[in-house]
């Protein structure tokens, strides 16, 4: 009998790539997505879509009654700037929505393992010296980071008190095909589209702010390993947390130059003031994911950015041909 996984946000960017991999591995895949940012066309063949909000009683009922081996919880309000502008909405989606699902698992006996999409950038804040290790102090600079840390704290509690098996995957800045321009690594999608349109690129701050850009296919593999590999005992907060990145930081100007090389053309760069709530320097240590999960990134940055730009260019060409 095939194993069963429920993927929240499975019609979105990271979620759909993760769903692709679970389908490829022979799992029965069901998806919960409210399609606010997810897209039906991203749902892989063989997966079943439930158009639901993670805060709804129906989503909880599905999880309680579905006999799922794994919940991969990726649905979220993912825009740092929106979290700064409306922290109550961010908390309602990212904290209350997550609790709705955790309580459903507890009520059904707690046999479903959870893989949670946390953040390897926003959770640590600006008071550490990268590369950030999982056990570093957490002091988020944004409500988005605060919400992700809150869910991790709840999962640690459920693990110690109720026996929940849960892995927190602390992503770097995920990029790749199907990327949404509103996420943490949205700059790659935004730059790609503007280069295609022969428009200038806007860089906030001095352009030297660094992020740990990790390719979406590598992140999907990390999610699968988090769902299937043995995990450490539930002890302190960081026991079952794993950074998922590359281990080094790349600044925004370098990303812009790499995408211009992929496009074979240059774009003007305009500078704008730094945005509130955004970190200056962020990259993570990935040693723990290697040792415990057997995971490491396989796609180099230039190669991943080239693949991503080519996907956006092909999509734009297809849309133009359809008109």
Q: Which two tokens stand for residue 262?
A: 């992929």
**Residue of 268, 312, 274, 286 lying closest to 225 (CA atoms):** 286
Residue 112 CA, chain-centre distance (Å), reads 20
Non-local CB neighbours of 244 within 8 Å, separated by 6+ positions: 120, 169, 170, 171, 172, 214, 218, 219, 222, 284, 286, 289, 295
Residue tagged active-site, from 124, 144, 158, 171: 144
**Residue of 152, 158, 159, 155 lying closest to 138 (CA atoms):** 152
Euclidean distance between CA atoms 18 and 300, whole angstroms = 19
Tokens 């309580």 -> residue: 103
Tokens 């109720």 -> residue: 162
Q: Which two tokens stand for residue 306?
A: 């080239």
- Does residue 144 have an active-site annotation? yes
Euclidean distance between CA atoms 315 and 297, whole angstroms = 26
Q: Which two tokens stand for residue 295?
A: 């995971």
Q: Kind and range of the H or E element at 222? A: helix 216-228
Q: Do residues 113 and 159 lie in contact, with contact meaning Cβ atoms separated by under 8 Å?
A: no
DSSP assignment letter at 40: G
Which pairing describes strands 210-211 and 250-251: parallel, antiparallel, or unpaired? antiparallel
Residues identified as active-site: 144
């Amino acid at each position: 009998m095939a194993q069963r996984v429920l993927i929240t946000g499975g019609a979105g960017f990271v979620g759909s790539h993760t769903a692709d991999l679970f389908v490829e591995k022979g799992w029965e895949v069901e998806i919960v997505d409210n399609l606010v940012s997810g897209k039906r066309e991203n749902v892989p063949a063989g997966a079943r879509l439930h158009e639901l909000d993670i805060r709804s009683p129906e989503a909880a009922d599905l999880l309680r009654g579905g006999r799922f081996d794994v919940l991969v919880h990726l649905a979220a309000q993912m825009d740092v700037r929106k979290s700064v502008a409306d922290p109550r909405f961010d908390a309602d989606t990212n904290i209350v929505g997550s609790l709705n699902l955790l309580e459903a698992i507890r009520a059904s006996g707690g046999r479903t393992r959870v893989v949670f999409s946390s953040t390897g950038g926003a959770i640590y804040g600006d008071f550490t010296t990268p590369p950030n290790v999982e056990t570093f102090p957490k002091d988020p600079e944004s409500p988005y980071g605060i919400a992700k840390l809150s869910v991790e704290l709840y999962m640690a509690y459920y693990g110690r008190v109720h026996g929940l098996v849960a892995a927190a995957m602390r992503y770097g800045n995920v990029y790749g095909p199907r990327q949404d321009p509103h996420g943490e690594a949205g700059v790659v999608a935004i730059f790609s589209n503007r280069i295609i349109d022969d428009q200038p690129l806007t860089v906030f701050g001095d352009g030297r702010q660094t992020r740990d850009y990790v390719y979406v296919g590598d992140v999907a593999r990390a999610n699968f390993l988090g769902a299937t590999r043995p995990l450490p005992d539930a002890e302190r907060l960081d026991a079952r947390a794993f950074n998922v990145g590359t281990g080094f930081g790349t600044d925004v100007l370098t990303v812009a130059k790499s995408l211009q090389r992929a496009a074979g053309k240059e774009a003007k760069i305009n500078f704008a003031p730094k945005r509130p709530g955004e970190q200056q320097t962020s990259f993570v240590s990935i040693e723990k994911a290697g040792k415990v999960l057997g995971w490491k990134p396989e796609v180099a940055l230039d190669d991943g950015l080239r693949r991503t730009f080519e996907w956006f260019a092909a999509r734009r060409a297809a849309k133009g041909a359809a008109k």
